[in-house]
Structure 1
């Protein structure tokens, strides 16, 4: 082990090697990413509508409910059956029998009609669930897209910072070689450049993660894409009463809750039909005998069935349906409260993000002016390297804050649209 302190040239060599390795790592990440293709927000939403599994699941659920309605309708449809048999007993000739029977339910005291209405409500509920899935996917795509756009801008700003520190290092070396500045200025510029390159590597990694997030939100692998649609510009917002009114009318979750509440009331009526009378008509044509030609016969039957007692089963089902209806009504009130909170919260978030944008723009202008002054003071020999480093750091931070404010506003608008159940008027 070397117990002697390392010389200054040795330290400089290690710093140069570390800086070179960081630069090579950043270049390798950029080359590995390849040429990114551009993608607009509208294209992303369209791709999600075509490929996202959640939307396919919602469509399948809706189709299943429609098929269920066909099953309910079949309960009163004409049915037919054909049977044939042969029998051979000891000491007797072999006999044959065949019959064709048709049956039609004439009346079930209105139970099937109620079941059809209930299933129609189930279809409407599934349709609202599908619309809710569409809104959720659109919101997810917008969030992922704006995150990709933000990280792309951050990566660009990190690259600009590297170029700025490279220029500053060249100036520091020139002043040092001319004897105008101390060696400390060169060392500080080298450290700042290394830190900027590390930040660039982190920005590249965040950009790659954002691309993966957009692929997940869309439902297919997009590869290396570049977001080209800009952040949304500030726009007029609806008043809270109007926004709440629109949400109460359009949001799929509250529309679904209303449908479930209505369906709960129908369930009580359906359960009460459990011991209702039914009337059915059946007809049969028979061929039977042991010798050909077989004897034929015809039969028509009208059946009236009136349940006398069922051990309290119907009463128990009615009680269960009533409790279910009460729960559906409570769920509707809960969703109404959620809608009020979501709309108010979304409006506040949009207004807060909008208020930060002009402040962030002013901060960028001030930081840019401060950077220009610091660089001018340094070049004339009045300022020092720490002043320039602080100014560069403040300018980069101001730019990122501006991008973040724009991102937050666009994301808040996307949340507001989802809270209202669609595009706000």
Structure 2
């Protein structure tokens, strides 16, 4: 990528200052009025204050690092991955013994009336107190269930792997957004420079036209025309300043930071993507092998295939080993009765009203849905790769054409300035040439960073995080 030569003021202003000097008035001509003191327009004052406030310079690598650290969508994706890994541990628990324990201790009192059995014997109420302790431990170990537990465990591992791939895809999308926003800031920054240069040229030309009108060598309509051109340049500068500030606010959002935009960005040149001129089929194959979202979909399909087998296993029994120990008595240390038992248990749901069959049909339908989504994703990958590749080619050619257009527009402006000084041209011709040069400069800026953006999009569509850049200075 070639740096844009913003040299408008470097060659226009010296030519205007030296070649458009007003001629000395003739003795019969009225003495020209003293020109008003030069004042800096508000738009230029604001532009200078904006430039002075940009103390920090951040690079593309720093912007990407900030996004990795602060972007909420990455934290959300990480939380999803942690949850998926926790579900793997949950499914693994089915292989381990399930142990339960309970204990109770009760104290009670019972009262009964004593009847006089022998004349003269005492009568009244007798109270009896009771104490009882009960404690037990039971354990259950799955021995065999026709692959249902192992199937759930393997399915959860595939799902967790799919979530990890999805997290990687989210990272690639975030970096793509950061790069796009970063290049947009560079675009708006360069366009702001074009607007500043244009306003400075219009200001210088206004001074020269004003002097020529004062000495009578040019009509007053030229002055009005040039004042209009300067006012239009001020409007464009204000709009460029707003677009630049908005672009930096959008960059902050893609980085996930909530700070001020009192910074500027370092200009970078984006190198060609490896293989960007290869045949489409080769690039598509490379994308299908590298993209995390494709890998995630593949693992989701495998997880659902395992889930179908797990669901079908509901037709079969499960075999478990059981054991228990209980201790019953007045207290657990004295007079208690200890009993131990163990055995095997076979659980078989012989009839569930067609539940398992319905669940199997649902699982198969979900599998077909995921397979269709996988095919849709393959088609989307092909379309994205083709679009990104075509955009790179188109923007390369557009940049070449924009370079030529800017050279031609610069020469046209030079000739228009010369014709105006020689008295054979008019101010409208100069104004049109200035507008054409400004548009050509803006077009070159847009083509330059459109190429950088399209290469970032191609890298994302190919499933790579790497983007080769070289820092450059303007």
TM over 0.5, shorter chain: yes
Alpha-carbon distance between aligned partners in 2 of 1:203 and 1:350, rounded to the nearest angstrom: 26
Using the alignment, how far apart are the partners of 2:337 and 2:272 within structure 1? 88
Aligned residue for 1:84, secondary structure, equals: strand
1:199 is aligned to 2:236:
yes
| Number of residues of Structure 1 aligned to a counterpart in Structure 2 | 407
Q: What is the deviation of 1:180?
A: 1.2
Report whether the alignment pairs 1:83 with 2:77. no
Shift of 1:294: 1.0
What's the CA shift string for 1:47-87, capped at 9, x where partnerless?
10111011111111001100111111111212322211234
Q: Secondary structure at the match of 1:309?
A: coil
Confirm or deny that 1:399 pairs with 2:441. Answer: yes
> Could you tell me whether the CA contact under 8 Å between 2:165 and 2:293 is conserved in 1?
yes
Which of 75, 82, 86 is the equivalent residue of 1:67? 86
Question: Which residue in the other structure is 1:52 paired with?
Answer: 71
User: How far apart, CA to CA, are the structure 2 residues paired with 1:323 and 1:198?
Assistant: 60
Match of 2:410 in 1: 368
Offset at residue 211 of structure 1 (A): 0.6
Q: Structure 2: any 5+ residue segments left out of the alignment?
A: 1-35, 112-127, 469-474
For residues 220 and 331 of structure 1, the distance between their equivalents in structure 2, rounded to whole angstroms, comes to 34
Structure 2 CA distance for aligned equivalents of residues 73 and 30 of structure 1: 65
CA contact 1:232–1:406 (8 Å) conserved in 2: no
Alignment of 1:204-353 (within 5 A): 204-222=241-259, 223-233=261-271, 237=276, 238-290=278-330, 292-353=334-395
Distance 2:452 2:67 in 1: 19
Mapped to 1, the partners of 2:47 and 2:313 lie a distance apart of 70
Shift of 1:28: 3.8
**1:388 alignment partner in structure 2:** 430
- After superposition, give the CA deviation of every residue in 1:86-133 in whole Å (9 maximum; x if it has no partner): 344857833221112222222222111111110111011101110110
Asked whether the equivalents of residues 44 and 196 of structure 2 are also in contact (C-alpha less than 8 Å), the reply is no
1-side partners of 2:271 and 2:330: how far apart?
91
Task: Indicate the residue corresponding to 1:9 in structure 2.
Answer: none
TM-aligned CA distance change 1:107 to 1:89, over 3 Å: farther
SS at match of 2:41: helix
Match of 1:138 among 165, 168, 175: 175
Q: SS of 1:193's equivalent?
A: helix
The SS at the match of 1:383 is: coil
Deviation at 1:32, TM superposition (A): 5.9
2:203 is matched with 166
Contact preservation (8 Å) 2:140, 2:320: yes
Residue of 155, 163, 185 corresponding to 1:126: 163
Instruction: Give the CA RMSD over aligned residues.
Output: 2.1
CA distance in 2, matches of 1:100, 1:352: 75
The question of 1:183 aligning with 2:220 is answered yes
Q: Retained in 2: the 8 A contact 1:155–1:200?
A: yes
Deviation string 1:288-346 (CA, Å, 9 cap, x unpaired) is 12473211111112212122111111111111111111111111111111111111111
Q: Deviations over 1:165-196 (max 9, x none)?
A: 01101110221222211111112111111110
Higher helix share: 1
Question: Following TM superposition, by how much is the alpha carbon of 1:30 offset from its aligned partner in structure 2, in angstroms?
Answer: 4.8
Distance in 2, Cα, partners of 1:76 & 1:368: 78
Using the TM superposition, give the Cα deviation of residue 276 of structure 1 relative to its aligned residue in structure 2, in angstroms: 2.0
Contact 2:270 2:467 in 1 (8 A): no
Query: Which structure 1 residue ranges, 5 or more long, are not aligned?
Result: 1-15
Shift of 1:274: 1.6
1:103–1:281 contact (8 Å) kept in structure 2: yes
Report the counterpart of residue 23 of structure 1 in structure 2. 41
CA distance, structure 2, for counterparts of residue 180 and residue 295 of structure 1? 126
Which residue does the alignment assign to 1:3?
none
